[in-house]
Structure 1
Amino acid sequence: MPTLVLVAEPKYQIRALHTESTVTVYQAYTPGIGLPAAREGRFPAVWQRDRMTWIKPSFLWMMYRCGWGTKEGQETVLAVEISREGFEWALEHACLSHYEQGLHADQATWKRQLKRAPARVQWDPERDLRLQPLAHRSLQLGLAGEAARLYADEWIVSITDVTSLARTVHAQVLGGHLDAARQLLPRERPYPVAEGALAHLRR
């Protein structure tokens, strides 16, 4: 009988629901922002373009962050489909959110890069269905300034309210039906990036 070899997930890899032209990221907002955003397919006027906004390609990391849509101010969970062109522009122009010796020349250089960059990246532990941390990391992409404006005004293809999906998956998890819950999850798979495209964003 052949030996089953389990291949570990790469520690730093973007996994997302994506098509040939789009990638889906997740955010959670108050109903006052989330509901009109889903209805109109764009963020309402009260959405602040001068603040950093964080987008997350991992559905389960979003569930960890918003508590399955139960945390105050994060009751409406949105799946935001954006252009791959915009997503990759943000990655190209991003800076790692913390100083990493060996990656950055020195702390002063990193601080200058961070201040100028319209986007920043964090790699946080991915989560399982019980929202426990896994060994591999999940990308969080922060957009500010030019990147936030481009995100809101040019990159968005569609916005869908997936709060009901979050609650349904959570109910299955609470009931111990992990296989059923897993079947409901968005089909996230490795996102293709050019060789070396993430070199400036990996520890």
Structure 2
Amino acid sequence: MNLRRIKAIYDKNTITVYQAFNKKIAYSAIESQTFIDPPFKKKRMTWIKPSFLWMMYRSGWATKENQEHILAIKIKRSGFEWALQNACQSHFDNNIHTSCKDWKEKLQNSVIRIQWDPEKDIFLKPLNYRSIQIGLSSIALEKYIDD
């Protein structure tokens, strides 16, 4: 059974998401309390992850090159929910999409992508659920940075 879960620290108004960066981007973001271009690249998709465990696994426990610094970023729940409502899944799912052609068209035009990945425990053993990661680009990335 592969359940999909959004595991996160949240309250009524905010949710915490995580991102891995190199030292230059991380320190710049901490100092300015936002992402400055450069060193952050606003022209490419950036992926946020609400699950700290999934973020740590994906970054090789903060050992992968350019992923040595993990930032916890508190964002508005309304923005997070907007992203979910306006997203397209990265993979075709015939339970959701009417056709592969329609999904490809939606994917091509979407500024937000959702990917469900199999989460692992701290011993790298697969868990029985998938965790979400959300890719933001264009207007969605601008909202993430500015709002």
TM range (shorter): over 0.9
* Alignment equivalent of 2:34, drawn from 31, 42, 61: 42
Deviation at 1:50, TM superposition (A): 1.5
Q: Give the match for residue 77 of structure 2.
A: 84
* Alignment equivalent of 1:22, drawn from 9, 14, 17: 14
CA contact (8 A) 1:28 1:78 kept: yes
- Distance in 2 (CA, whole Å) between partners of 1:131 and 1:33 is 28
- Distance in 2 (CA, whole Å) between partners of 1:140 and 1:85 is 17
Aligned residues: 146
* Alignment equivalent of 2:55, drawn from 62, 66, 71: 62
* Alignment equivalent of 2:145, drawn from 152, 156, 160: 152
In structure 2, the residue corresponding to 1:16 is in which secondary structure? Answer: coil
- Distance in 2 (CA, whole Å) between partners of 1:147 and 1:39 is 23
CA contact (8 A) 1:60 1:131 kept: no
Deviation at 1:133, TM superposition (A): 1.8
Q: Give the residue type in structure 2 aligned to 1:150.
A: K
Deviation at 1:23, TM superposition (A): 0.3
TM-score where L is the length of structure 1? 0.69
- Distance in 2 (CA, whole Å) between partners of 1:118 and 1:134 is 29
Q: Give the match for residue 68 of structure 2.
A: 75
Q: Give the residue type in structure 1 aligned to 2:122.
A: L
- Which stretches of structure 1, 4 residues or longer, exceed 3 Å deviation after superposition? none
- Where structure 1 has 5 or more consecutive residues not aligned to the other structure, the ranges are 1-7, 155-203
- Distance in 2 (CA, whole Å) between partners of 1:132 and 1:80 is 27
- Where structure 2 has 5 or more consecutive residues not aligned to the other structure, the ranges are none
Q: Give the residue type in structure 2 aligned to 1:16.
A: A
Q: Give the residue type in structure 2 aligned to 1:97.
A: S
Deviation at 1:102, TM superposition (A): 3.2
- Distance in 1 (CA, whole Å) between partners of 2:51 and 2:95 is 28
Higher strand share: 2
TM-score where L is the length of structure 2? 0.94
- Distance in 2 (CA, whole Å) between partners of 1:144 and 1:103 is 22
Q: Give the match for residue 108 of structure 1.
A: 101
Deviation at 1:44, TM superposition (A): 2.1
Identity of aligned residues (%): 47
Q: Give the match for residue 89 of structure 2.
A: 96
- Select the structure of larger CA radius of gyration: 1
In structure 1, the residue corresponding to 2:5 is in which secondary structure? Answer: coil
Q: Give the match for residue 173 of structure 1.
A: none
Give the RMSD, CA atoms, in angstroms.
1.4
Query: Deviation per CA, 1:12-62, whole angstroms, max 9, x where unpaired?
Result: 121100011100000000100001212221112211112100000011111
